Amino acid sequence: MNQVSQFLRQYHLEEQHVYLLELIPLIKMIWADGQKQPAEVSILKRFTMNHLATLAARNEGVMPVTVETTNLFMDRFLGSEPSKTMLDDLNRLCVNRLRNHSDLEFSRGRAQEIIDFCIDIAAACAADYPYEFNERIVEQEKTTLKNLIKEFGF
């Protein structure tokens, strides 16, 4: 059994959820500080709309995953904080799928878009205002962002 099948079964995911793995780094970023905030979720939703449009375009208008399935997937990961192990495992699957994609230009662009949205999520909410110049993004978010950048090979 390959790693994808193992994690799908282990985390009770459906095969079509593989198409949604690119949401995981953003979800990981949202939960980096242990709490989700409305502005962060809005950024995830915008990325998700872009992602679904990209999937449709690359599949000649055929959606490999429904909007309803996508919403249920997001609800599962946003309803309460998922385990760090699960997010790490699924994030690794996302990174590996993009790094092993046959279209290197496409995969590099997708990875860059994911990082860009993660930066926006990190910057979306400061805990207290006014904040010091280096407190806009909390330490847990900085660490998560640095790790994501490293994992994607930037």
User: Which residues have C-beta within 8 Å of that of residue 74, sequence separation ≥ 6?
Assistant: 23, 27, 44, 45, 48
For the residues of 76-104, what is the DSSP string, one character each? HHHHSPPPHHHHHHHHHHHHHHHHT-S-H
Look at the chain and report how many structural domains it folds into: 1
Residue 86 structural domain: 3-151
Low-confidence ranges of the chain (pLDDT < 50): none
CA–CA separation, 47 vs 113, rounded Å?
Answer: 9
Asked whether 97 and 89 are in contact (CB, 8 A), the reply is no
* pLDDT given for residue 129 in this prediction: 56
* pLDDT given for residue 32 in this prediction: 94
* pLDDT given for residue 61 in this prediction: 82
Residue 98's identity, in one-letter code, is L
